Amino acid sequence: MSLGAIILVTLGLTTGFVGGDADSVTGRCRDGRLWTTSPAEQGQMLGLLNQVRAEAARPPLQRQTVLDRMALAHAADMACRDYFDHRNPERMRLQDRLKRVNDGSLPAFHRLAEVIGTSATPGRQLERWLGSRSHRRAVLEEEHDLVGVGLVRIAGSRHDTYWAVEFVAAGR
């Protein structure tokens, strides 16, 4: 079962997993709209994050499966329910959303942060985050060592693209 399918089943975000391959994963919102994600663009975002971290003499981020699930679930939830916020309409905090997807494989950590955005490309979204003091701090926080990247594209919502990136300082 793919990561996308696991997210959909775990969180009940859609009426079902539609399909996927190495290039994209597709899901369905409860209202019938389809969304897609691109593992290649998610990987590109990780590369860009690590590039700017290297330029700032910060250690590289390592992708973590639980954080990927959390990020993709939040991006899909924002897209399907047409909101843009760190908290969902039920006002769940980051820690609460993490508990919903954590299968126990995420190591103990002492910091959890998130950045969200709606830019069409990884490069443009990273530029926007770096232009914001609080988002820049999250991206460049030296203690952050694990990351999850979520991207969802959808029609019929306020935005066409939703990004969520989850950072953790696990102190490996």
With 70 as the cut, is the pLDDT of residue 155 above it?
Answer: yes
Higher pLDDT, residue 29 or 16: 29
* Residue 171, pLDDT score: 74
Q: Are 78 and 11 in contact (CB under 8 A)?
A: no
* Residue 24, pLDDT score: 81
With 80 as the cut, is the pLDDT of residue 20 above it?
Answer: no
Quick one: the chain helix, strand, coil %, rounded to 5? Answer: 40, 25, 35
Q: pTM for this one?
A: 0.88
SS3 state at 143? coil
User: pLDDT of 45-82, one tens digit each?
Assistant: 999 999 999 999 999 999 999 999 999 999 999 999 99
* Residue 19, pLDDT score: 53
- Which of 38-52, 58-72, 101-115, 128-142 has the weakest average pLDDT? 101-115
* CA angle, residues 104, 18, 118, in degrees to nearest 5: 75
Tell me what the mean pLDDT of segment 138-144 comes to: 97
Q: Please name the helix (run of DSSP H) or strand (run of DSSP E) that holds residue 51, with its range, or none.
A: helix 39-55
Sign of CA dihedral 83, 85, 90, 94: positive
* Residue 22, pLDDT score: 56
Q: Which two tokens stand for residue 52?
A: 């700017």
For the chain, what's the residue count? 172
